[in-house]
Amino acid sequence: MQNDDQCTCQGVWTLDTIAPLEKILRHFSQHASQEKITVDGSGIIRLDSAGAWLLHRTRMDLEARGRQVQWQGFSAAQQTLLDNLKNYDIAPVVSSVSTGVCTDVGYHTVALGREVVSFLAFLGENTAVALRILIQPSRIRWREVMSNVYHSGVTALPIVGLMSFLIGVVIAYQGGVQLKLYGANILVADLVGITLLRELAPLLTAIIIAGRSGSAYTAQIGTMVVTEEVDALRTIGISPLELLVFPKVMALVVMLPLLTAYADVMGILGGMVIAFLTLEVGFAEFLDRLQQTVTITTYLVGVGKAPVFAVIIALVGCYHGFQASGSADSVGQKVTTSVVQAIFLVIVSDAVFAILFGWVGI
């Protein structure tokens, strides 16, 4: 309730309720005509820092218009909270001003630019660490490397193998239906071999690892940041990049090409099974045709992309882990962001590889 010289505050004044209260107080501060104004807080049931900040900001607005403001009826704890706000420059927590599309686009563009610059700085720091370790190989922490090899690579074999086998089944079955119409059943080997080895096996394996291992990297490092373990490492003179990032990058660069080769084998096996069951193409015929049409270049193109995908997945996952702050909720948000960005960048890099290989005729 309010009049020209008094504002009586009632009810709950917390973060969840201040949005409508802000509009009321803004209207009151703009239309108050008396020089001396009393703000009565005797009716406030609960007051948190957000509500106190709203009252403090209202007082600052009134005093900026030449009004004298006096608190009245606040409890000792509430009065202490209000007095403490005088010592801090607190940013607004609620904005009632609606922004337009252009403002939103500009805001997100600036935020994206800052994130790109931040990631490039992170990439530069890791490049310097990698060069330092390559000059002094004794700095490699083999225990962490082998642990990441096991968790990121060995434990991924079942899901990668099952995925590749089923993808081979799908390609052979869907393609075989059309090839069978023209009596070209044997060409299913060309379809499965080239499609899997050159594109699908490395791409889908990278996507699985991005969702599986990239998210784990973000969660692990993000939790260490929130619990201040990373700060503790810096305090005792241990580089977090050497301990947490480089072993993950190294392990994934080693394991992703091997997982890709494993996915190639399982995918071809799935295609062979479907070719035998539905297209009457025996295993020997399938492998003979595969040997004639799939060259070593096709295999190397697919496996050669895997280390690049590995670096992208590991760096994006670790970067977003270091960006976590405040709470477990921040860690969850960064995990989601890291997986989405890693998959997006893997697909973009795969498209770039396709264009480059097309230019050079590979």
189-219: buried (b, 16+ CB within 10 Å) or exposed (e) per residue? bbbbbbbbbbbbbbbbbbbbbbbbbbbbbbb
Give the angle subtended at the CA of 220 by the CAs of 215 and 225, to the nearest 5°. Answer: 120
Please name the helix (run of DSSP H) or strand (run of DSSP E) that holds residue 296, with its range, or none.
Answer: helix 296-323
Quote the percentage of the chain above a pLDDT of 70.
94
Point out the least confidently predicted range of 49-63, 166-180, 237-251, 280-294.
49-63
Point out the least confidently predicted range of 72-86, 247-261, 269-283.
72-86
DSSP-derived pairing of the beta strands 6-13 and 36-47:
parallel
User: Distance (Å, rounded) from C-alpha 164 to C-alpha 288?
Assistant: 21
| Residue 67 structure tokens | 């009004």
State the pLDDT at residue 5.
65
Give residue limits of the domains in the chain.
6-87, 101-137, 140-360
Is 130 a residue whose pLDDT tops 80?
A: yes
State the pLDDT at residue 91.
47
Can you tell me the mean pLDDT for 164-177? 91
Residues 276-312 have pLDDT tens digits of: 888 888 889 889 998 888 889 889 999 999 999 999 9
Quote the percentage of the chain above a pLDDT of 90.
41
State the pLDDT at residue 178.
86
Point out the least confidently predicted range of 21-35, 190-204, 247-261, 300-314.
21-35
Can you tell me the mean pLDDT for 238-259? 92
Residues 28-44 have pLDDT tens digits of: 777 776 778 788 877 88
Q: How many helices (H) and strands (E) does the chain have?
A: 15, 3
**Any idea which residue has 């996507």 for tokens?**
207
State the pLDDT at residue 46.
82
- 3-state DSSP call for residue 83? helix
Burial grade of 6 (CB within 10 A; 0-12, 13-18, 19 or more): middle
Banded model confidence at residue 26, pLDDT cuts 50, 70, 90:
confident
Can you tell me the mean pLDDT for 129-149? 91
User: Distance (Å, rounded) from C-alpha 285 to C-alpha 272?
Assistant: 10
Point out the least confidently predicted range of 66-75, 92-101, 135-144.
92-101
Is 214 a residue whose pLDDT tops 80?
A: yes
- Chain-wide mean pLDDT for the chain? 86
Is 353 a residue whose pLDDT tops 80?
A: yes
Superfamily of chain region 6-87? STAS domain (3.30.750.24)
Can you tell me the mean pLDDT for 135-161? 91
